[in-house]
Structure 1
């Protein structure tokens, strides 16, 4: 579904992604792992073309999306949930969801508010609250729900477990597995290996903007040397 091939991305003169290559198969949950500063967020932004790769290509469903405008990438069926959440704090939960609404897309789930409130009971209880009145975990849920209103086939989750209470982390894992059951493909970046182990089928470990390891989650769990080399603090 998604192929990143030989991507080099920069912030000014800082070379962040260095010939990065990996793929995501349809229906997989793939965890992009690595230490802080490894290039995980830049990878997400390079897929969305918020950071435009200087060289290399990003292909989505056999179509090259490199150098497309980000809103056109989104309209092709890629949803992006940034780490910063970026909800509309003065809008209610329902109003935030309406902002994300896009037309139905062939071959994908067509989400509506009732379906999302079933998935996120906390949001159902606070549907009339403004975004600024929600907890950090609830804001994270709202960002995911708003993204789903765009009916994506592929959803990018940047550090979904970061900075939220443990009980909400468990809820987030349940949601990701539910999305997989609904046929969505998920690429998530994580530093929390325990969380990634709970949801991911496949792992890509990056260091200094390069893919150092790719394999199944079970293969990684059986390889402590890889974990110690690339993921230990």
Structure 2
């Protein structure tokens, strides 16, 4: 098992956000966490990374219990995280941003070079010497993902990768995620865009109020429209 969450309960102060949340992800799988804004998707990502430490329950990554470990140690074990806020270094060039993320080759994980990433994200290749502040929102999102891949993770967490970017960039993003799968990278995506999630993911987990409401393929979800309408409709 690549990732396993068991009965996770996470809080912000006294606010109980995740309620006994459990799910697992197989190696090489692309899983989409779906739910409305505020459902608990980002908190799930941060709880996996231990940026929000669960008060109870466990997170296991590649068979190892990482619950309570510092986030930087979790990252060094091969868990990559791309936050919705992007957080690139705007005063550095694209190439310099990528170098910040560089880590050694990791056993059992895809190995990424700058050339491979520029092939994956041609927009970045054309502007490799441009400063981060000169990039569009979509290009900044691509750069954040590429910088994370320079750490050669076994699993990457993508928080709302299609949010607030142009449709043409969304299409490129979807194509890139499918390429990740070809390389054997395990991916967990947090999304509100059902169409985007269906295009890239093998399976979806629907979260509402910090609890799991559905776990299955999109084919099964299509046969249960009442679930889709109850938890995903605006």
- TM-score, normalised relative to structure 1: 0.99
Give the drift of 1:220: 1.0
Runs ≥4 residues deviating over 2 A: none
- Deviation per CA, 1:64-86, whole angstroms, max 9, x where unpaired? 00000001000110100000000
User: Is structure 2 residue 98 aligned with structure 1 residue 97?
Assistant: yes
| 2:28 partner SS | coil
Give the drift of 1:218: 1.5
CA separation in 2, counterparts of 1:207 and 1:226?
11
Please report the RMSD computed on the Cα atoms of aligned residues, expressed in angstroms: 0.5
CA separation in 2, counterparts of 1:206 and 1:15?
14
2:43 counterpart residue number: 42
CA separation in 1, counterparts of 2:27 and 2:108?
12
2:204 counterpart residue number: 203
Give the drift of 1:219: 1.0
Within 5 A, what are the aligned runs for 1:103-182? 103-182=104-183
Give the drift of 1:224: 1.0
1:54 counterpart residue number: 55
CA separation in 2, counterparts of 1:221 and 1:140?
30
Give the drift of 1:43: 0.2
| 1:170 partner SS | helix
Give the aligned length.
233
| 1:10 partner SS | strand
CA separation in 2, counterparts of 1:27 and 1:217?
18
Extract unaligned runs of 5+ from structure 1. none
1:19 counterpart residue number: 20
Give the drift of 1:8: 0.4
1:86 counterpart residue number: 87
- Deviation per CA, 1:58-108, whole angstroms, max 9, x where unpaired? 000110000000010001101000000000000000000000000100111
- Deviation per CA, 1:9-66, whole angstroms, max 9, x where unpaired? 0000000001101111111100000010000000000000000000000000110000
- TM-score, normalised relative to structure 2: 0.99
Give the drift of 1:222: 2.4
User: Is structure 2 residue 7 aligned with structure 1 residue 6?
Assistant: yes
| 2:59 partner SS | strand
CA separation in 2, counterparts of 1:91 and 1:218?
44
CA separation in 1, counterparts of 2:108 and 2:50?
24
User: Is structure 2 residue 19 aligned with structure 1 residue 31?
Assistant: no
| 1:67 partner SS | coil
| 2:156 partner SS | strand
CA separation in 2, counterparts of 1:218 and 1:192?
16
Extract unaligned runs of 5+ from structure 2. none
CA separation in 1, counterparts of 2:222 and 2:166?
25
1:65 counterpart residue number: 66
